[in-house]
Amino acid sequence: MSNSSLGAASVALGVAAAACAVVIVALGLSGRRPGWFREARLLAWVMMFAATAGVVVMERALITRDFTVAFVAEHGSSQTPALFNVATLWSALEGSILLWTLVLCGYVVAVVVKFGKQGDDPMLAWAMLTLFVVAGFFFALMVGPSAPFDRFDPPPGYDGPGPNPLLQNHILMAFHPPILYLGYVGFTVPFAFAIGGLCTGRVGEGWLLATRRWTVMAWGYLTLGIVLGAWWSYETLGWGGYWAWDPVENASFLPWLTGTAFIHSVMVQERRGMLRVWNLSLVISTFSLTILGTFITRSGVLQSVHAFVESGIGPWLLTFFAVIVVVSLGLIAWRGDELRAPGKIDSPVSREGAFLANNVLFAAFAFVVLLGTIFPLIVEAIDGRTISVGNPYFERMTMPIGFVLLFLMAVAPVLPWRKASGEVLSDRLHWPAWIGAGSMVAAALLGARGWSPMLAFGLGGFAGGAALRQVALATRRQGWRGLVGRTNGGMIVHFGVVLIAIAFAASNAYVRQGEFTMEVGDSAELSGHTLTYEGSHVTEYSNRTEKSARILVDDVQIYEPAIAQYPFAGRTIGVPSVRSTWTDDIALSVLTFPEGSDDTVVLRATVQPLIVWLWIGGLVMAAGTVLAVAPGKRRRPTAPTSAPPAAHEVAV
């Protein structure tokens, strides 16, 4: 049987299994099928088998260069290196939906395994129904507008163009999208349990407890995926930057913002029984934004270096997004009376008061980014004009919010619940404040200037000092266990955020860039560094030809930025070369080799301080996430709070 037939059969099996699962769970909820969970569990495994089979068949088609599969004919090539040939699966629309479905089915099976002993629980039934509906939707996409296994009749000697050249010249392409999908898709689980809680009226803390670790892990994957994407952009695109407020970058950042707010806000509900409507709204918003982000990324409605070509998938995703929003808001309105919180904020100067302020700021941040991202779509829909929203808007609007969030990141963890006295604040913030002041003094002595980066350094030191203080106290009391648990792991995450914030401020405020036309033996100076051109050479690869410039940096080491020609794709792209140290980076890009001279190059050099600490900060955040989901010391709720979950409620 051909790969097209096997793949189409696997998709059909997935659609059928999802549809049957929806019917069986619905019958179970109506009371007409008491043993629904056993059958639904089996169908979850069938869906997983179908999605896995689809991915395996597509990878087989890519590896064997089976151009009778339309996806392979359009995006594969006999010249593509092995690693990027495998990664071709998620380099284009149809394959990315196939991978998305595989990840989603993996989460469905994980939920089935985790909560298998609570098969009669109505909240679990509604959660499973939601998961099956979402999975069925993505399987249906592969039958309709995003069919990955369409047939193609290749002429004799046919060879495909391969993936976009920008997607086959850096190893991070093999890891960034799958990790990002683990985060994106992972938020389906807390969303499903939130819907389950609303449908059953169990809107207390049961669904939060059931999904706490799932939410944190999804957030951790999304965080790591965003950082790896920034790293990929920095190493690949050759413009000397890592974040451009690109629409597709924003599409992943938006659910990160609301997910971050949710992770903080659930602690208030668990501890004080408050913010129930807010938490439900946040988790629904986070999942909805992943669908909206999928629409932005895969519909082709916005121009982006990351986006796929225009396709017919847009209306499907937009309709699904609208259904999610309408149904979710309807359920919240229906359960309005039960969602009234039994607790209230006793003082704004308290842990819960700070978390509420934190949430408002994250919501404002998300609104600013969302408005800047979709405003071009709104304008085009109204009067047909094509516009873009540039970096100045995002930077001007988000910078003040970022500063206040850094301040709250320092203050909130040291505040007690219910109410804080001035004496307590003075005692707990004494050393963090000195660290913040010392950070500003040290930055000034090292030559830093400008109010915004200096403020960032000071607030970063303040927040970092508060995080280190908390970790030091915890490890002194508990030993190595002071590093694990939600609170202590969260402090490690905070420290990673501080590293990123300081590196972001420094690299943006003190970037230096220059363009130089150089002949062999010429040298140029930029920001204290010496660049010497030592000639060029041509290298042939299986999928491209590179002409590289040999640049001696600071008389120490040679780096080779290049221009690469991909004949099968018919494209020429730049291949940057980056020298990284603990203090600064030098990113080198060849703009052109002027015709008529083999000894001349037009070179762009970008010097930015502290870039490497962006990637270190991301890894620290990932490590903190792992520590945060490890079992830590449990705390009792602070009264007043809602009633504890009933014995039959789902719990971790």
Quote the pLDDT of residue 374.
86
Contact 579, 609 (CB under 8 A): no
Show the tokens assigned to 314.
Answer: 């847009």
Host H or E run for residue 604: strand 600-609
The mean pLDDT of 407-418, rounded to a whole number, is 85
- The Cα–Cα gap between 25 and 76 comes to 40
Provide the mean pLDDT of the chain. 87
Residue 349: pLDDT above 70? Answer: yes
The mean pLDDT of 156-178, rounded to a whole number, is 87
pLDDT tens digits for range 76-124: 988 888 888 999 999 888 999 999 999 999 999 999 999 877 767 889 9
Residue 53: pLDDT above 90? Answer: yes
Residue 625: pLDDT above 90? Answer: yes
| Closest CA relative to residue 638, chosen from 283, 350, 408, 340 | 350
Contact 465, 409 (CB under 8 A): no
593 versus 344: the higher-pLDDT residue is: 593
Give the pLDDT band of residue 36 (cuts 50, 70, 90).
Answer: confident
221: left (phi over 0), alpha (psi -120 to 50) or beta: alpha
Q: Helix, strand, or coil here: 151?
A: strand
237 versus 271: the higher-pLDDT residue is: 237
Residue 174: pLDDT above 70? Answer: yes
- Sign of the dihedral through C-alpha 10, 13, 15, 17: negative
Quote the pLDDT of residue 473.
87
Show the tokens assigned to 293.
Answer: 């982000």
Residues 6+ apart with CB under 8 A from 567: 544, 545
- The Cα–Cα gap between 487 and 470 comes to 9
Quote the pLDDT of residue 32.
74
Quote the pLDDT of residue 168.
84
Query: What is the 8-class DSSP label of residue 515?
Result: E
pLDDT tens digits for range 521-530: 999 999 999 9
| Separation in Å, CA 406 to CA 273, 411, 497 | 26, 9, 9
The mean pLDDT of 601-614, rounded to a whole number, is 94
Q: Which residues of 372-390 are buried (b: 16+ CB within 10 A; e: fewer)?
A: bbbebeeeeeeeeeeeebe
Q: What is the secondary structure of 54-90 as a DSSP string?
A: HHHHHHHHHHTT-TTBHHHHHH--TTS-HHHHHHGGG
- Percentage above 70 pLDDT, the chain: 93
How many residues does this entry show for the chain?
652
Show the tokens assigned to 439.
Answer: 């950070």
Quote the pLDDT of residue 189.
96
- The Cα–Cα gap between 538 and 533 comes to 15
Residue 306: pLDDT above 70? Answer: no
Residue 302: pLDDT above 80? Answer: no
Contact 179, 224 (CB under 8 A): yes
Give the pLDDT band of residue 273 (cuts 50, 70, 90).
Answer: confident
Q: State which amino acid sits at residue 611.
A: I
The mean pLDDT of 177-183, rounded to a whole number, is 93
Residue 132: pLDDT above 60? Answer: yes
Residue 452: pLDDT above 60? Answer: yes
pLDDT tens digits for range 202-250: 877 778 888 889 999 999 999 999 999 999 999 988 787 899 898 888 9
Show the tokens assigned to 623.
Answer: 């490590």
Contact 28, 40 (CB under 8 A): yes
Give the pLDDT band of residue 343 (cuts 50, 70, 90).
Answer: low
Quote the pLDDT of residue 633.
58
Quote the pLDDT of residue 299.
66
- Percentage above 90 pLDDT, the chain: 56
Residue 647: pLDDT above 70? Answer: no
- The Cα–Cα gap between 208 and 190 comes to 8
| Closest CA relative to residue 184, chosen from 92, 295, 73, 85 | 295
Residue 413: pLDDT above 90? Answer: no
Contact 312, 288 (CB under 8 A): no
Residue 319: pLDDT above 80? Answer: yes
- Tokens 């600013």, residue located: 368
257 versus 303: the higher-pLDDT residue is: 257
Residues 6+ apart with CB under 8 A from 216: 263, 486, 625, 628, 629
Q: Helix, strand, or coil here: 154?
A: coil
- The Cα–Cα gap between 441 and 306 comes to 40
Residue 176: pLDDT above 70? Answer: yes
- The Cα–Cα gap between 78 and 443 comes to 52
Quote the pLDDT of residue 151.
94
Residue 634: pLDDT above 70? Answer: no
Quote the pLDDT of residue 126.
93
Show the tokens assigned to 220.
Answer: 């951790």
The ranges assigned to domains in the chain are 1-163, 512-609
Give the pLDDT band of residue 449 (cuts 50, 70, 90).
Answer: confident
